[in-house]
Amino acid sequence: MNSLDIIADTDLGATAQRTVSESAQVRPVLDKIADKWTVMILTVICPKPARFNEIKRRLDCITHKALADTLKRLERNGLVTRTVLPTSPIGVEYAITPLGHSLRQPFEALYAWALTHGGAIEEASRAYDRAREE
């Protein structure tokens, strides 16, 4: 059962209780993977490992600090590996782990959904704001 099944379920009390229980398990995980930078960074390094500056260039709106902090968190959570390269100057390469790779399909679907429906969301926001101004 997932949260989308709640409406179809006739025993709403049991469903609500189960949803609360599942929420306690799911929320900490979603807090670690569902922010905008995690999705974007994993999308960038999923096809092939990349160095810090390459990731930063591909995500031109991310700050150095935000990228460094997110990469550390992703490494801590087992989604990314960090490899120091024996180059001069020393380089660091980030690669996706098998656990991180398991997010590829849902993240690609989310990315595609955002491209397809972003305009509709923007239009809904504008319509909402116009209605509030009246």
Question: Domain coordinates of the chain in residue numbers?
Answer: 1-32, 35-133
C-alpha span between 26 and 48 (Å, rounded): 29
Q: What is the pTM of this model?
A: 0.73
Rg (CA), the chain: 19
Q: Please name the helix (run of DSSP H) or strand (run of DSSP E) that holds residue 51, with its range, or none.
A: strand 50-51
Residue 134 is predicted with a pLDDT of 81
Give the separation between CA 31 and CA 125, rounded to whole angstroms. 25
How many CA atoms lie less than 13 Å away from 131 in the CB half-sphere? 6
**Burial level of 70, CB count in 10 A (0-12/13-18/19+)?**
buried
Answer whether residue 12 shows pLDDT above 80.
Answer: no
Q: If one looks up domain 35-133 in CATH, what number appears?
A: 1.10.10.10
Backbone angles phi, psi at 92, to 5 degrees: -130, 135
pLDDT confidence of residue 58: 95
Looking at residue 15, its pLDDT comes to 65
d(CA 15, CA 29): 21
CA distance 103 to 130: 38
Mean pLDDT across 45-59: 94
